A = this chain, B = another copy of it.
């Protein structure tokens, strides 16, 4: 009784997801170079050979993971249609970011780690450069919208804050005061400065 093409597809999808999840966990926790294909296979509960049925190489596997993650990051910048107020937008972004930090810590670990591994980066540079550009242009637009004096630099600083917090949070998730920091950022960036000045 041969399987239908749909069943095949579903099986493939399932195996691929298992591999991606296993690889993400291993890379994030032990580093890319330190993780062997055998380790990933064991973690995924499959054989080494099978990985090569789905991914051309260890590097290709890594790229697939990153691509997944970039989609997610980009998603954070998508706003509900009716959100037009810049402060409101920033609130949505900060919410999304801090939620993601907590929920996808594995990915953020990996992301931070890869960001800075030049050998790994070569292949990803293009992909990441695009995402980076998108993010910074979004941030600049925000600072222009609220009439900041130097929107570009403000965007750089806020971008640095995002990556810096991600990095520090991931170094010691247990003790990082994620909520307090979020509050501070909401206060700094998601509300008009000197709100009561004119009264």
Contact = CB atoms under 8 A, between A and B. Distances in A.
A118 to B, nearest CB: 5
A89 to B, nearest CB: 20
Given A30-B119, A156-B181, 19 more contacts: A31-B33, A31-B119, A33-B119, A109-B116, A113-B117, A113-B118, A115-B171, A152-B177, A153-B180, A153-B183, A154-B184, A157-B165, A157-B188, A160-B160, A160-B165, A163-B163, A163-B164, A164-B167, A194-B194
Interface residues of A, number: 40
Contacts of A194: 194
23 contacts: A30-B119, A31-B33, A31-B119, A33-B34, A34-B118, A113-B117, A115-B167, A116-B116, A116-B167, A116-B170, A150-B180, A150-B183, A152-B180, A154-B184, A156-B165, A156-B180, A157-B181, A160-B161, A160-B165, A163-B163, A164-B164, A164-B165, A194-B194
By secondary structure, the A interface counts as helix
